[in-house]
Chains A and B, each alone.
Chain A
Amino acid sequence: MIAYILRRLLMLVPVLFGVVLVSFSLLHLVPGDPAQIMAGEVATAQDIARIRAEYGLDKPLVVQFGHFVWNAARGDFGISIQSRHPIKELLFQRLTFTLQLSLASILVASTIGLLAGMISSTRQYSVFDTASMLGALFGISMPIFWLGILLILVFAVKLHWLPSGGTGSLRYLVLPAIALGSASAAVIARMTRASMLEVARQDYIRTARATGYAERVVIFRHALKNAMIPVLTVFGLEFGYMLGGAVLTETVFSLPGIGRLLVEGIFMRDYPVVQGAMMVVGTTFVLVNLLTDVAYAFFDPRIRYD
């Protein structure tokens, strides 16, 4: 297992290097002079020169990249052009919120997805099965931002049950978590159903039934344990993809997450913030995938020998 983890860690190095390279390149792919674009349209020559010196844009590209890598390794992304706050602090605050939202969403997704998938698999081709798989199809096809708008319309505007946005108590997380978690709930439901049906065809399940075990025992003690192994991978992947979906959810519900920080950074041409946000999200996603792979290998030893 340790050898497997070390091998995966080694494979991580070029990917993380690539994440740093892509984040660094963003500023240099901008058509025109990056310093002028960052300074804005009404900036004076002095302002542009100040930004060029402050962000080291007057140095050769290789030196700039070296500085970027060194600073990124220490979590230092400089100062935001717009807010003049250290970007490290902004990223930390915003990422903490996005992770909270993602955790709440995965809770919603796993509760709904696992239940729907399990019930569907035990009642294949029943009305419930058809309805839940139809629901799953709409779940993966519905744009997150539109679902968010509909939830606000029904639960905040019409029924006044929940707040339409902002932060505060846990109540503020309910609608965003449902909006962000619905697509993952659909994926988990489909995966759980398929995995349970696959396991139910195995010989050892037939043997358990023939031995006289109650159906509940067969499902929960024998089938579920093995059926959960592929579902576990989906959990990790979905958690990662929630970081992506958070951009839209945070915009709809006016939440202070890292996705919204990135969008604000793009609008304000605050490129150091954009670079920092891209790096942090990319690194978090890669690490979540690594943890998922390790967990998968832990539960299914065959993976380690691939």
Chain B
Amino acid sequence: MSVVATETLRERYERVAAGGELADLWRRLRRNRAAVVGAGIVLVFVLLAVLAPVLVPYNPIQGNLNDRLLPFSGTHWLGTDELGRDLLSRILYGARVSLQIQIVAVVLALIVGVLLGSLSGYLGGYVDSLIMRCMDILLAFPGIFLALGIIAALGPGLVNLMFAAGISSIPQFARIVRASILSLKEREFVEAALALGSGSSRIMFRHLLPNCLAPIIVQSTLRMATVLLTASGLSFLGLGVQPPTPEWGAMLSNSRSYLIVAPHVATIPGVAIMVVVVGFNLFGDGLRDTLDPRLRQ
């Protein structure tokens, strides 16, 4: 049985009075070790991406052909790539590019997905059927295929990559919000708002959507991981970010020819992608465990 169900009014008052709901949430999140590790990784990733221009020791675009494929050293901590560019500088700038793609794609998917999901769940009927069938169509293409189709039509490049990754993530947001709205709109507080004469938009924005925030936050965090995998996959195929812009997937693609002579060039960008994805997955799972009352023990 959940804490929420058994908690007395007095206990709840004491809990909230001790520091509010947010503080309570923060306390529970801090107790989840996996979430703390995930949040730490995400924080370091964001800091490195934001501070990349200050931190990079060399120009990430220009290299010295005399310094090609150098191993780890004091001058080049992570070595150099096939064009003599400093790998550490490219990894740090790559973090910046990745974060940019993740934020734009997830925000695009979030705005469109939440809008469609809310309309679908609240209005129901034909609108619901139409929107959900459209989402089913987008979900009919497995994994990276939908993004590939969009890139095929619009052409490769950073902006189109963000757009393709964003469009591919819309159905997940729409479905989650629709499901939440469907269960919330039958609750007493919505009936009370209706009885008090609240209009549809007020009910939607003041009562329903704020109550859907928890699943939206969790989905956004987990989607950051998926978008990074999709975007780096498309760049690996040569259909995403174009050279010489440093992007981790594209860096891996270029390094394949030098597997035998410089395996570190093919290892470091992969480690970077994996660590960041692990971070977002851990943080997302932790948030879900913290925010979902059904999982509270």
CB pair A29 B148 closer than 8 Å: no
Determine the residue in chain B with the shortest Cβ distance to A245.
Answer: B143
CB pair A285 B141 closer than 8 Å: yes
Q: Is B263 an interface residue (CB 8 A)?
A: yes
Instruction: Pick the interface stretch among A84-92, A119-127, A260-268.
Output: A260-268
Task: Compute the total of residue contacts between A and B using a CB distance below 8 Å.
Answer: 134
CB distance from B69 to the nearest CB of A (A): 15
CB pair B141 A266 closer than 8 Å: no
Q: Provided the pairs A15-B136, A18-B134 are in contact, do residues A143 and B145 lie with their beta carbons within 8 angstroms?
A: no
CB distance from B159 to the nearest CB of A (A): 13
CB pair A137 B237 closer than 8 Å: no
Contact with A along B113-154 (1 / 0, CB 8 A): 000000000000000000001101100111111001101111
Q: Is B233 an interface residue (CB 8 A)?
A: yes
CB pair A137 B281 closer than 8 Å: yes
How many residues on chain B are close to A (CB under 8 Å)? 42
Cα distance A25–B249 when bound, in Å?
A: 28
- Which residues of the other chain, B, contact A19 by a CB distance below 8 angstroms? 137, 140-141
Q: Is B277 an interface residue (CB 8 A)?
A: yes
Q: Is B29 an interface residue (CB 8 A)?
A: no
Determine the residue in chain B with the shortest Cβ distance to A13.
Answer: B133
Cα distance A18–B154 when bound, in Å?
A: 19
Cα distance A267–B141 when bound, in Å?
A: 20
CB distance from B133 to the nearest CB of A (A): 5
CB distance from A286 to the nearest CB of B (A): 5
Q: Provided the pairs A18-B136, A244-B144 are in contact, do residues A29 and B259 lie with their beta carbons within 8 angstroms?
A: no
Q: Is B42 an interface residue (CB 8 A)?
A: no
How many residues on chain A are close to B (CB under 8 Å)? 49
- Which residues of the other chain, A, contact B3 by a CB distance below 8 angstroms? none
Q: Is A26 an interface residue (CB 8 A)?
A: yes
Interface residues of B in 247-290 (CB under 8 A from A): 249, 252-253, 256, 259-260, 263, 266-267, 269-270, 273-274, 277-278, 281-282
CB pair B140 A286 closer than 8 Å: yes
Cβ-neighbour of B145 out of A14, A18, A247, A251 (below 8 A): A247
CB pair B266 A143 closer than 8 Å: no
Contact with B along A240-270 (1 / 0, CB 8 A): 1111110110011000000000110111000
CB pair B133 A15 closer than 8 Å: yes
Q: Is A61 an interface residue (CB 8 A)?
A: no
Determine the residue in chain B with the shortest Cβ distance to A21.
Answer: B137
Q: Is B101 an interface residue (CB 8 A)?
A: no
CB pair B270 A150 closer than 8 Å: yes
Q: Is B238 an interface residue (CB 8 A)?
A: yes
CB pair B137 A15 closer than 8 Å: yes
Instruction: Pick the interface stretch among A44-52, A207-215, A274-282.
Output: A274-282
Determine the residue in chain A with the shortest Cβ distance to B144.
Answer: A244
Determine the residue in chain B with the shortest Cβ distance to A271.
Answer: B152
Q: Is A149 an interface residue (CB 8 A)?
A: yes
- Which residues of the other chain, A, contact B249 by a CB distance below 8 angstroms? 143, 145
CB pair B239 A266 closer than 8 Å: yes
CB pair B142 A243 closer than 8 Å: yes
CB pair A143 B143 closer than 8 Å: no
Q: Provided the pairs A141-B225, A263-B148, A274-B152 are in contact, do residues A149 and B266 lie with their beta carbons within 8 angstroms?
A: yes
CB pair B151 A266 closer than 8 Å: yes
Interface residues of B in 185-232 (CB under 8 A from A): 225, 229, 232
CB pair A143 B270 closer than 8 Å: yes
Cβ-neighbour of B141 out of A137, A138, A143, A282 (below 8 A): A282
Q: Is B236 an interface residue (CB 8 A)?
A: yes
Cα distance A278–B140 when bound, in Å?
A: 10
CB distance from B265 to the nearest CB of A (A): 11
Cα distance A278–B144 when bound, in Å?
A: 11
CB pair A285 B270 closer than 8 Å: no
- Which residues of the other chain, A, contact B153 by a CB distance below 8 angstroms? 25-27, 29-30
Q: Is A70 an interface residue (CB 8 A)?
A: no
CB distance from B277 to the nearest CB of A (A): 4
CB pair A262 B278 closer than 8 Å: no
Binding site for B on A (CB under 8 A): 14-15, 18-19, 21-23, 25-27, 29-31, 137-138, 140-146, 149-150, 152-153, 157, 240-245, 247-248, 251-252, 262-263, 265-267, 271, 274, 278, 281-282, 285-286
Binding site for A on B (CB under 8 A): 133-134, 136-137, 140-145, 148-149, 151-155, 225, 229, 232-233, 236-239, 249, 252-253, 256, 259-260, 263, 266-267, 269-270, 273-274, 277-278, 281-282
Known: A150-B267, A247-B148. 15 other contacts (CB 8 A): A15-B137, A30-B153, A30-B154, A140-B281, A143-B273, A145-B236, A145-B253, A149-B256, A149-B266, A157-B259, A247-B144, A263-B237, A266-B148, A278-B149, A281-B141
Which 7 pairs between the two chains have the least Cβ-Cβ distance?
Answer: A244-B143, A18-B137, A146-B270, A244-B142, A29-B153, A141-B277, A141-B278
